[in-house]
Amino acid sequence: MEHNDKLVIEGLAGRRELAGRIPVKGAKNAALKALAAGLLFRDSVHLTKVPEIDDVSRMVELLEDLGVGVERDGDVYQLQTDKIKHSSICPKISAHLRASVVLAGPLLARTGRVTFPHPGGCVIGKRPIDFFLENFAKMGATVKNGDAAYELIAGGGKLKGADLFFRLASVTGTETFMMAGVLAEGETIIRNAAMEPEIVSLGEFLNQCGAQIAGLGTPTITIQGGELLTGAGQTYETIADRIEAGSFIILGALAGRDLTVTDFDPSLLESLLHSLRLAGVQMEVGVDSVRIVGAQPALTALEIKTHEYPGFPTDLQAPMAVFLTQTVGQSYIFETIFEGRLNYLETLERMGAKARIIDVHRAFIDGPTPLAGKEVESPDLRAGLAYVLAGIIASGRTVVHNIHYIDRGYESIDQRLAKVGVNIKRINR
């Protein structure tokens, strides 16, 4: 829900004072799709470690609107999926949620039709859905492009498996058609598939429940279509959020005295850890944690090029830029995935960073520069978190507005940061 809370942060002015442990929560971009996958089940789905974030509340609203029963106890969700009332994804709710687009796959595959608006979500680029429309047509659906919504109808009431090629390795595209393939007739192949761990985690769970998905974590995924799945006796444990973990590790590299980020798999963050080591950051990497302890040497500038998994995650690009403002020399950022994901640098410049946007994909950052607290407005989820990191290391006070963006993807961010020594308060205006 849109609220106008704000975060007030008193900065550390470069001091390394953060200490303690930050346990990582379940991944937003895994939980949202696992919830949507409930539409593939004849009976029920049991999910645990679901993060308490606004996007999950919205996805639950969308599912309930479709007729799914949802019971929640803390981070445990039980979905009753035996009765789907209709096939129209609520435009009001989905307007804010890019992940809502993944509902189209299972809904069309299960009911033979789906109506959905152009999905909303973070303004980090055009966010087209041409891959979805093109590939649903390949699976035999007719696509009617209305003024406010798309209406898709599966030929003969059932999607047909097809050989699909993605011009770009789309995360939600891969997830949507993996789910559609589970109920389609015959075999579906997804070529140039995304390999994100969240996709592997979802696909493995679906296989546990009767799906036949091969090639998870590779560029080619093959799905044999079959009947509705059964979730009886199965549990989906939400994979830890590697993007949240990475954001906290960057914070430790910037201001940690003895900070441990726990309850996640560091092997899923190899690209970030490799870059931080290259800059000179000393870290203790454990089986399910990373610890940043003691003073760090002078950190050196880096070249960061975002890339589909296992390359450097685009969702860590903005937090990493805050780190780069404190490294010695000229860093270079090449954001290859989105064309609107560098604008936050203007706000970092207002705080004292020396950044130069070359074009919609590339920028330079010269460091180190001290940052000074400012009033800033989160433009999206990940840039909002980057502003929080900048405010923590800056001198003076930073007020971050529009934090509903941050609440979409980070559970209780203020309370969790305050626990490790950040002077941060949430003000409900």
Shortest spacing between CB 232 and ligand EPZ, in angstroms: 28
Q: Is 51 in the site for ligand EPZ (CB under 6 A)?
A: no
* Residue 56: C-alpha distances to residues 64, 93, 121 (Å): 12, 12, 13
Stretch touching ligand EPZ by CB under 6 A, among 121-129, 177-185, 232-240, 370-378: 121-129
Q: Is 170 in the site for ligand EPZ (CB under 6 A)?
A: yes
Interaction residues for ligand EPZ, span 129-158 (CB under 6 A): 129-132
Stretch touching ligand EPZ by CB under 6 A, among 151-159, 165-173, 226-234, 385-393: 165-173
CA torsion through residues 245, 250, 255, 259, sign: positive
Q: Can you tell me which residue has the tokens 């979802």?
A: 202
Side chain identity, residue 51: P
242 φ, ψ (degrees, to nearest 5): -70, -25
| Closest by CA position to 376, among listed 403, 341, 408 | 403
How many C-beta atoms lie closer than 10 Å to residue 311's C-beta?
14
163 φ, ψ (degrees, to nearest 5): -95, 110
Residue 277: both structure tokens together: 């080591």
| Closest by CA position to 122, among listed 47, 28, 50 | 28
Q: Which of 111, 296, 314, 378 binds ligand EPZ (CB under 6 A)?
A: 314
Q: Is residue 122 among the annotated active site residues?
A: yes
> Of the residues 27, 37, 50, 122, which is catalytic?
122
How many C-beta atoms lie closer than 10 Å to residue 83's C-beta?
9
Q: Which of 11, 18, 29, 422 binds ligand EPZ (CB under 6 A)?
A: 29
Q: Is 127 in the site for ligand EPZ (CB under 6 A)?
A: yes
Q: Is 98 in the site for ligand EPZ (CB under 6 A)?
A: yes
Q: Is 171 in the site for ligand EPZ (CB under 6 A)?
A: yes
Q: Which of 4, 82, 128, 163 binds ligand EPZ (CB under 6 A)?
A: 128
Q: For residues 110 and 382, which CB has a smaller minimum distance to ligand EPZ in the complex?
A: 382
**What's the CA gap between 338 and 202, in Å, rounded?**
24
Q: Is 99 in the site for ligand EPZ (CB under 6 A)?
A: yes
Question: Catalytic residue positions?
Answer: 122
Where on the chain is the footprint of ligand EPZ (CB under 6 A)? 28-29, 32, 98-99, 122, 124-132, 168, 170-173, 194, 314-315, 337-338, 381-382, 409
